[in-house]
């Protein structure tokens, strides 16, 4: 709806020139514009986070104010350069972010970029598994709901989808933990692996930090099984959140395509109903789904913070909360800035995929 | 939609109450949709009543630790004295669940009102005047919109309260954190409507008659641009509850002595779960799920009823005149998870997935 309404606001001049260029390298220009748009997005988010965090004062006082005497505090503030005009610090910070330097944590005195690398892989692994869960649950169920529209399966699935959305990730996590880990004792309560596997993984020559890949490297099926078992509950908790969204989305879009002429034509040709839904109606409904996945990345990353805390999954979200507790705002700022970059990049990638699939997307 | 309805039914003039937003939809709905709407309204009603009458309903105060027979004791299983048991901190679970509704509803109302005022004002000015201000606001809002809502709320929480808070501070911090996340949503919808309405003939005629910009904006544009607000309102209300709980869960909650907050209680129950204590997490969690479910059911039904493609069919004639493509969220409100109104672009495959004016586009 927004898109439709926005169109008339485009200046007339712009439209004419667009028409001239569009027959040629439409997609190249489209992707270039999209790519260039990443920078203002990152710039705005990083600046916003910087200024917001700085309104609370300098990071050293926030982290160590209660622990150090004033003269030592002042010394450390000066050493870190926080006594200079804030605008100077701002431009310095922008320059650092541009070169991938996010500063040094105050509480643990490690480069933030190192923290991001170490824990980012854990978060990536979790989000990847959650996406798989969301696909496997959301897409087939969405087709089922669309096919039996307004019938009992549809009603049940819609309530399920709303429940998925209405249940906070951490509550879903707690329930899953209670049932599968505490009562049934079939899955581990928390963490990414047992200590034994952890030691094996750390002794690898080149660990990736993504435990599934590392476990494959060890070649020990017990380690791989252990790592996968640990991932089941967190992935389910986070995946269910998104599964509801996918279910709704697939349902609406397949309902739209099921009513089209070509689906009727296929049906009259004798295509069986299963194929009708899973191929003829589903394929054209894919594009809106892909674009929404891009937006889901933000939802998933937010959800990952909560899931990681629930399951003590030592990823970026888990560390974020630890740093907040330690009032280490340099680290918080770094993690938030990195996530902003990831969101901007993933939106760009989704734009590319959408444009490649559907020529209509590139205007 | 209400404006269209009013127009089309002017000849017959049904009584005013049947034209009120929710009542109208209730009469318009049938079957499953009516069931969902009614269930949603009932749950929401119970929630509101619980919040209002919390002092009468709750057996104990939210921060009460001792009764007539001394201390309640920690982690007591549900019993006659404590129907839902006691928490690890020694509070009565039932009382905290009931009092929690008051906190939730306060934050919800403050957050939604703040974001409506800010978002509507910005969207109206931006859409009406256009120009560089419009472009800057669109890019900024898009950046904020793409950002994980919870992270933004965390940053705002740090800024406002430094991470810990009393009652008023906590409620304000939570509300404002949520507001920042919502403003882009109102902004986008109102701006899009404004841009569309600005081109309407009646706005032209008002201008010819010499009406001032302020008068056109508030009298002609705003009045017609607000038809989608009730829908976003319900979406955001449920999202506010979830965000508040998320903030509470990661430790930005309101201290237990100042107010009861479900997310905080869930966080404290995290360690209970591992030892099989289920009552401290189950009930606050269920409270969140029920409230979000109720509000979402209402929002979802309103959205579906406003969208002719999603509305269950009924005898022609009864709905004549109300068919307008007014769905705020094609694909259902569910897509509007903590990540925002993701469904906004859901079934518009022919358009740019990011409906903004590219600053690089207008040359």
Cβ proximity of B242 and B259 under 8 Å: no
CATH code assigned at A215? 1.10.3720.10
In a shared domain, residues B132 and B170: yes
Note whether residue B27 is domain-resident.
no
State which residue of chain A sits closest to B130, comparing Cα positions. A9
Size of interface A-B (CB pairs under 8 A): 289
In a shared domain, residues A32 and A132: no
Confidence label for A300 from pLDDT (cuts 50, 70 and 90):
confident
**Among A256, A344, A358, beta carbon nearest to B347:** A256
Q: How many independent structural domains does chain A possess?
A: 2
In a shared domain, residues A199 and A263: yes
Note whether residue B319 is domain-resident.
no
Instruction: Please state the rounded mean pLDDT for residues B9-24.
Output: 63
- 280-319 in chain A: CB under 8 A from chain B: 284, 287-288, 291-292, 294-296, 298-299, 301-303, 305-306, 309-310
Note whether residue A294 is domain-resident.
yes
Residues 6+ positions from A223 with CB-CB distance below 8 Å? A193, A197, A200, A201, A215
Cβ proximity of A243 and A134 under 8 Å: yes
Cβ proximity of B231 and B329 under 8 Å: yes
For residue B348, give its domain range: 1-21+324-363
In a shared domain, residues B230 and B333: no
CATH code assigned at B207? 1.10.3720.10
Q: Give me the pLDDT at residue B360, please.
A: 39
Distance CA A105, CA A265 (A): 63
List, as one string, the DSSP characters of B124-185: HHHHHH-HHHHHHHHHHHHHHHHS-HHHHHHHHHHHHHTT---HHHHHHHHHHHHHHHHHHH
In a shared domain, residues A91 and A129: no
In a shared domain, residues B354 and B254: no
Residue B72 DSSP SS3: coil
Instruction: Please state the rounded mean pLDDT for residues A37-41.
Output: 80
Q: Give me the pLDDT at residue B82, please.
A: 72
In a shared domain, residues B6 and B73: no
In a shared domain, residues B36 and B184: yes
Task: Tell which of A2, A256, A292, A318 to mutate to test the B interface (max B CBs under 10 Å).
Answer: A2
In a shared domain, residues B273 and B355: no
Q: How many independent structural domains does chain B possess?
A: 2
Note whether residue A331 is domain-resident.
no
Query: Does the pLDDT of residue A36 top 90, yes or no?
Result: no
Instruction: Please state the rounded mean pLDDT for residues A280-309.
Output: 79
Q: Which residues of A touch B250 (CB under 8 A)?
A: 305-306, 309, 321, 324
Q: Is the Cβ pair A292, B343 closer than 8 Å?
A: yes
List, as one string, the DSSP characters of A26-45: HHHHHHHHHHHHHHHHHHHH
- 329-348 in chain A: CB under 8 A from chain B: 329, 332, 336, 339-340, 343-344, 347
Parallel/antiparallel/unpaired status of strands B70-71 and B66-67: antiparallel
Q: Give me the pLDDT at residue B248, please.
A: 86
Q: Give me the pLDDT at residue B286, please.
A: 92
In a shared domain, residues A205 and A141: yes
Q: Is A178 on the interface with B (CB under 8 A)?
A: yes
Instruction: Please state the rounded mean pLDDT for residues A330-341.
Output: 81
Q: Which residues of A touch B269 (CB under 8 A)?
A: 174
For residue A45, give its domain range: 27-97
User: What confidence tens digit (pLDDT) does each residue in A219-236 have?
Assistant: 778 878 888 888 889 999
Q: Is the Cβ pair B345, A288 closer than 8 Å?
A: yes
Closest CA to A232 of A167, A187, A171: A187
H/E run at residue B286: helix B279-306
Min distance A306 CA to chain B CA atoms (Å): 7
Note whether residue B315 is domain-resident.
no
In a shared domain, residues B110 and B160: yes
Note whether residue B223 is domain-resident.
yes
Please tell me what DSSP assigns to residue B260. Answer: -
State which residue of chain A sits closest to B283, comparing Cα positions. A171
In a shared domain, residues A65 and A145: no
In a shared domain, residues A74 and A187: no
Q: Give me the pLDDT at residue B253, please.
A: 65
Min distance B57 CA to chain A CA atoms (Å): 25
Note whether residue A242 is domain-resident.
yes
In a shared domain, residues B178 and B43: yes
Query: Does the pLDDT of residue B3 top 60, yes or no?
Result: no
State how far Cα B266 lies from the chain centre: 22
Instruction: Please state the rounded mean pLDDT for residues B119-140.
Output: 87
In a shared domain, residues B266 and B341: no
Note whether residue B311 is domain-resident.
no
User: What confidence tens digit (pLDDT) does each residue in B216-274 have?
Assistant: 888 888 877 776 777 778 778 888 888 888 888 887 767 777 778 888 888 888 888 77
In a shared domain, residues B229 and B251: yes
In a shared domain, residues B4 and B103: no
């Amino acid at each position: 709806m927004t898109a439709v309404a926005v169109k008339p606001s485009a200046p007339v001049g712009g439209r004419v020139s667009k028409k001239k260029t569009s027959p040629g390298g439409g997609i190249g220009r489209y992707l270039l514009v999209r790519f260039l748009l990443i920078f203002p997005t990152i710039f705005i988010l990083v600046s916003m986070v910087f200024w917001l965090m700085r309104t609370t004062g300098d990071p050293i006082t926030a982290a160590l104010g209660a622990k150090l005497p004033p003269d030592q505090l002042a010394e450390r503030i000066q050493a870190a350069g926080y006594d200079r005009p804030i605008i100077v610090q701002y431009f310095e910070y922008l320059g650092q972010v541009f070169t991938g330097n996010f500063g040094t944590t105050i509480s643990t005195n490690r480069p933030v970029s190192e923290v991001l690398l170490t824990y980012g892989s854990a978060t990536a692994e979790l989000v990847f598994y959650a996406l798989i869960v969301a696909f496997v649950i959301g897409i087939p169920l969405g087709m089922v709901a669309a096919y039996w529209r307004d019938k009992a399966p549809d009603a049940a699935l819609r309530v399920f989808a709303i429940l998925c959305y209405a249940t906070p990730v951490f509550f879903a996590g707690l329930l899953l933990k209670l049932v599968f880990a505490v009562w049934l004792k079939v899955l581990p309560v928390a963490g990414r692996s047992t200590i034994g596997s952890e030691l094996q993984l750390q002794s690898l020559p080149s660990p990736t930090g993504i435990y599934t890949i590392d476990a494959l490297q060890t070649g020990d099926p017990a380690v791989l099984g252990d790592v996968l078992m640990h991932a089941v509950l967190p992935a389910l908790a986070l995946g269910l959140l998104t599964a509801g969204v996918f279910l709704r989305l697939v349902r609406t879009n397949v309902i739209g395509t099921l009513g089209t002429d070509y689906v009727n034509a296929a049906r009259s040709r004798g295509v069986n109903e299963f194929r009708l839904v899973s191929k003829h109606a589903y394929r054209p409904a894919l594009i809106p789904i892909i674009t929404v996945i891009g937006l889901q990345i933000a939802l998933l990353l937010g959800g990952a913070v909560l899931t990681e805390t629930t399951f003590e999954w030592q990823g970026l979200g888990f560390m974020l909360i630890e740093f907040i507790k330690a009032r280490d705002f340099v680290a918080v700022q770094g993690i938030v800035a990195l996530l902003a970059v990831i969101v901007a990049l993933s939106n760009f990638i989704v734009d590319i995929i959408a444009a490649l699939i559907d020529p209509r997307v590139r205007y | 939609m209400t404006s269209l309805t009013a127009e089309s039914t002017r000849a017959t003039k049904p009584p005013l109450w049947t034209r009120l937003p929710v009542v109208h939809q209730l009469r318009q709905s049938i079957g499953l949709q009516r069931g969902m709407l009614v269930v949603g309204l009932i749950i929401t009603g119970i929630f509101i009543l619980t919040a209002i009458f919390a002092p009468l309903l709750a057996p104990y105060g939210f921060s009460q630790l001792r009764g007539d027979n001394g201390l309640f004791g920690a982690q007591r299983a549900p019993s006659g004295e404590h129907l839902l048991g006691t928490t690890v901190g020694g509070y009565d679970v039932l009382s905290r669940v009931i009092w929690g509704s008051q906190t939730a509803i306060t934050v919800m109302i403050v957050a939604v009102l703040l974001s409506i005022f800010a978002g509507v004002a910005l969207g109206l000015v931006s859409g009406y005047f256009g120009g560089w201000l419009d472009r800057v606001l669109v890019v900024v809002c898009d950046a904020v919109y793409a950002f994980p809502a919870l992270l933004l709320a965390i940053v705002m929480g740090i800024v406002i309260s430094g991470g810990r808070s009393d009652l008023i501070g906590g409620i304000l911090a939570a509300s404002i954190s949520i507001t920042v996340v919502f403003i882009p949503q109102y902004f986008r919808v109102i701006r899009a409507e404004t841009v569309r309405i600005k081109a309407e003939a009646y706005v032209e005629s008002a201008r010819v008659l010499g009406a001032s910009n302020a008068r056109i904006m508030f009298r002609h544009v705003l009045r017609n641009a607000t038809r989608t607000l009730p829908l976003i309102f319900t979406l955001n209300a449920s999202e506010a509850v979830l965000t508040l709980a998320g903030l509470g869960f990661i430790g930005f909650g309101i201290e237990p002595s100042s107010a009861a907050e479900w997310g905080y209680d869930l966080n404290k129950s995290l360690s209970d779960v591992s030892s099989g204590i289920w009552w401290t997490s189950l009930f606050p969690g269920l409270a969140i799920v029920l409230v979000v479910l109720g509000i979402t059911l209402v929002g979802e039904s309103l959205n579906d009823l406003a969208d002719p493609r999603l509305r269950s069919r009924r005898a022609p004639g009864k709905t004549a005149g109300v068919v307008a493509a007014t769905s705020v969220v094609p694909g259902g409100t569910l897509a509007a998870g903590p990540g925002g109104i993701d469904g906004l672009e859901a079934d518009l495959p022919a358009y740019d997935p990011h409906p903004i004016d590219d600053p690089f586009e207008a040359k």
